[in-house]
Amino acid sequence: MTELDAIKPKLTVLLCAPRGFCAGVDRAIQIVELALEKYGPPVYVRHEIVHNKFVVEGLRAKGAVFVEELDEIPAGDRPVIFSAHGVPKSVPADATARQMFFLDATCPLVSKVHKEAMIHHKRGREIILIGHAGHPEVIGTMGQLPDGVVKLIETEDDARNFQPDTPDNLAWITQTTLSVDDTSSIVAILRERFPDIVAPHKDDICYATTNRQEAVKAVAERAEAMIVVGAPNSSNSQRLREVAERAGCPHSVLVQRAADIDWSCFPDISTLAVTAGASAPEVLVEEIIEAFAARYDVTVETVRTAEETIAFNLPRELRSTAAE
């Protein structure tokens, strides 16, 4: 131990587990990487494949080209990939009309919500979607059906004030990356107002979102501060930050990577919790811990609240490449 190490203040890092990549994110990134390997660059990706700048820049360096709309893609036979968040039905229809070869990286758990919406519509139910306006997943889910069919509710006040056309024939679905507690409160209001409202057969909030929030709750009261590694436009990462504060952590911040840490926010702490949103790679978590280790005598304690073994199948076109 050097003299410098001897004078460093001690810091216990409570490392949440599970954290970071979920199966849907891992699958989406694999789809881009395997498409690059099989077809060569460029491969076009509509919207960020996942909400993480580090991941996107890494794929861009390998030859992925990110666009917001299909009309930005030059004519030709280059593969086009739809992001993990899902897309409205009009997007694959447009791609087909343009004779594009496309691969769909939509998370299967998002696709499940799309199917639920279509089943409810087929059965004549009025559909409520609990989610955040403007989020790509919400745009994609609402876009599975004609305009105006799916009604968006964002808050408890929205739930209290919502006036359905058919109060006795309602169903609700949700964005997969919401706060479990916030969503429960909204659903409770809807159920009180509309006792016959139809719920999903299985929760729409995905296993990874739920597990990461539970891990944060397990450490929040023990930590003087919490760092959530993730992007500002990542819904599940923002929810982790909010969950930490509500669960008793005095100070919770969202950080993309170590260079973004505002050290003035972490004066004289002895316990720090660290987690990562579902689209944040583990290398960024390690980078954060190393940055603290340069200033503190760090002891890492992993706090695990669940085991995750879920994996999703790749598109058929890429399975042989993955097996090589």
Kindly report, residue by residue over 168-188, the tens digit of the pLDDT: 999 999 999 999 999 999 999
Residue 41: DSSP 8-state: S
User: pLDDT band at 4, cuts 50/70/90?
Assistant: low
What is the C-alpha separation between 141 and 152, in angstroms, rounded? 10
Structure confidence at residue 316 (pLDDT): 95
Q: What range does the domain containing 77 cover? A: 23-107
Q: Is the dihedral of CA 37, 43, 47, 53 positive or negative?
A: positive
Whether residue 240 is found in the same domain as residue 276: yes
Whether residue 215 is found in the same domain as residue 294: yes
Residue 249 maps to a domain: yes
Active site residue 126: no
pLDDT at 5 over 70: no
Whether residue 75 is found in the same domain as residue 163: no
Structure confidence at residue 38 (pLDDT): 97
Structure confidence at residue 82 (pLDDT): 97
Residue 319 maps to a domain: no
Structure confidence at residue 265 (pLDDT): 87
Report the domain count for the chain.
3
- The per-residue pLDDT for range 205-257, each reduced to its tens digit, is 999 999 999 999 999 999 999 999 999 999 999 999 999 999 999 999 999 99
Whether residue 284 is found in the same domain as residue 257: yes
Between CA 276 and CA 282, with CA 280 as vertex, the angle to 5 degrees is 80
Among 3, 137, 156, 192, which one carries the catalytic annotation?
137
Residue 202 maps to a domain: no
Whether residue 15 is found in the same domain as residue 35: no
Between CA 241 and CA 216, with CA 51 as vertex, the angle to 5 degrees is 25
Whether residue 119 is found in the same domain as residue 189: yes
Whether residue 185 is found in the same domain as residue 269: no
**What is the arithmetic mean of pLDDT over 185-200?**
97
Q: Which DSSP helix (H) or strand (E) runs through 67? A: strand 64-67
pLDDT at 17 over 70: yes
Domain C-terminal end among 86, 107, 128: 107
Q: Which of 169, 136, 135, 130 is nearest to 150 (CA)?
A: 130
User: pLDDT band at 7, cuts 50/70/90?
Assistant: confident
Structure confidence at residue 202 (pLDDT): 87
CB 46 within 8 A of CB 67: yes
Q: How many residues does the chain have?
A: 324
Q: Output 109 or 2, whichever has higher pLDDT.
A: 109
Give the CATH number of the domain where residue 7 resides: 3.40.1010.20
CB 52 within 8 A of CB 130: no
**What is the arithmetic mean of pLDDT over 61-74?**
97
- The per-residue pLDDT for range 99-124, each reduced to its tens digit, is 999 999 999 999 999 999 999 999 99
Residue 309 maps to a domain: no
Whether residue 269 is found in the same domain as residue 290: yes
**What is the arithmetic mean of pLDDT over 287-305?**
97
CB 155 within 8 A of CB 184: no
Residue 288: count of CB within 10 angstroms of its CB: 22
Domain C-terminal end among 144, 170, 193: 193
Domain C-terminal end among 48, 81, 107: 107
CB 19 within 8 A of CB 215: yes
